[in-house]
Structure 1
Amino acid sequence: MTIKDTPQEWEIRATDTPFVGNKTSVRTDDVVMPDGSVVRRDYQVHPGSVAVLAIDDEDRVLLIKQYRHPVRHKLWEIPAGLLDIPGENPLHAAQRELYEEAHVKAEDWRVLTDVYTTAGGCDEAVRIFLARDLSEADGERFEVEDEEADLEHARVPLAQLVRGVLAGELHNNCLVVGVLSLVAARAGNGLEALRPAEAPWPARPFVA
């Protein structure tokens, strides 16, 4: 048996969009089940995101701490952001987020992993990149606003983050998945075996 997710689309009898927000919307679909019954499913429609696990030469991960209103927490996270333009190259979006949130650039980029964040209630897909060979970005710092105006920055040893994840002290999904994926990649075939930075991404197709 091949353990691999497979695309599939069940019949939709009716669809509606009862809410449209600034970046996302809510859709209601009447979906035909295998037994022929029709069930209503509500879910968030999301443009997709990128995240960057940037690690320096001292094996420290670049983190930001940001207030997240839905969960009423300030969370330690890795830099991340939305795919602002349909069909946008996710590598370019990741480079932009690393610059805007941390004023850092990286010379070596790989795809670390791809995930659906909440497949039961949202169609958000996230590509998490590994960025290495870090340096200060050129030019002026990006002008931040809203929650981002209160960002905290830190570089934290990878081993400390692993302990924090397993202790239940760190909760951001991209940080958790990224950190544990990096450890798994190192223990497996090594970082050079990771996919190239512009590897295909069926969940959010793009032009390289």
Structure 2
Amino acid sequence: MAAGRGFADEHDPRRLIESKTLYEGRIWNVVSDTFSLTGDDGDVLVRDYISHPGAVAIVALDDQGRVLLLKQYRQPAGMSLWEVPAGLLDIEGEDFVAAAARELAEEADLTAGRWDVLVDFFNSPGSSSEAIRIYLAREIAEVPEDQRHTRTEEEAEIEHLWVDLEEAAAAVMEGRVHNPSAVAGILAAAHAARSGFTGLRPGDAPWPEHPSQRSHRTAAEAGR
């Protein structure tokens, strides 16, 4: 099959027979779905995965063409990673751009006057429903000191570093940066910069792939 410019991932729900929660966590749950690929009851599969609220991440770019990186410790990896500001979409009904602005202020003490969408992706679609949107934030300004968020726990150790965008992209390609949002966001921003950031989607562009934007049939409805 020859690739064309029109190819794209597509919404393709299969018949849900049963969905149950196996584990309830503080932030995400583990669920088990029983479903049919073909609609035939004889072709039934079971898949367990993390039910995740999704997240936003921000490539903050200053007027010198530098991207802001944060150094933060991550227990599952056992490493301190260079990342971009990011956070969970764990406030029900919160606008996606508002969530990104909140995270930029909380983690980086910054505001942005312009927001564009860089890239959308699923972090691990075979094992999690986590959808991530990465924004490009420009027209950067500092949050006044008396209005800054008090960072606690791992966030209290955050270090900030402004890095030239092409240097950051080189660090990704050399295997020195591993956080998925940083990898995807930096490379997307470096690509977009070569065309002067033309053609980027606006910050309020639809995000139909996020679970909150998709309609889900109940197991009972699916069984009809």
> Is residue 123 of structure 2 the alignment partner of residue 130 of structure 1?
no
Contact map agreement 1:47 1:86 (CA 8 A) in 2: no
Residue ranges of structure 2 left out of the alignment (5+ in a row)? 214-224
Contact map agreement 2:192 2:198 (CA 8 A) in 1: no
Residue type of the alignment partner of 2:35: V
**What stretches of structure 1 move > 6 A for 4+ residues in a row?**
none
Which of 22, 25, 38 is equivalent to 1:21?
A: 25
Residue ranges of structure 1 left out of the alignment (5+ in a row)? none
Distance in 2 (CA, whole Å) between partners of 1:118 and 1:156 is: 28
Percent of aligned pairs sharing the same letter = 42
Distance in 1 (CA, whole Å) between partners of 2:198 and 2:187 is: 17
Aligned residue for 2:147, secondary structure, equals coil
The total of aligned residue pairs comes to 205
TM-score of the aligned structures, taking structure 1 as reference length: 0.93
Give the equivalent residue in structure 1 for 2:154: 147
Q: For residue 86 of structure 1, report the CA deviation from its aligned partner.
A: 2.4
Aligned ranges 1:23-42 → 2 under 5 Å: 23-34=27-38, 36-42=42-48
Give CA-to-partner distance per residue, 1:85-131, whole Å, 9 cap, x none: 22321100000001000101111111111111111100011110001
Distance in 1 (CA, whole Å) between partners of 2:129 and 2:21 is: 14
- Superposition CA RMSD, Å: 1.5
Q: For residue 187 of structure 1, report the CA deviation from its aligned partner.
A: 3.0
Which of 161, 185, 188 is equivalent to 2:192?
A: 185
Residue type of the alignment partner of 2:155: E
Give CA-to-partner distance per residue, 1:10-55, whole Å, 9 cap, x none: 1122221010111100001112134742221011001111100001
Aligned ranges 1:71-90 → 2 under 5 Å: 71-90=77-96
TM-score of the aligned structures, taking structure 2 as reference length: 0.86
Larger Cα Rg: Structure 1 or Structure 2?
2
Give the equivalent residue in structure 2 for 1:160: 167
Which of 53, 78, 89 is equivalent to 1:47?
A: 53
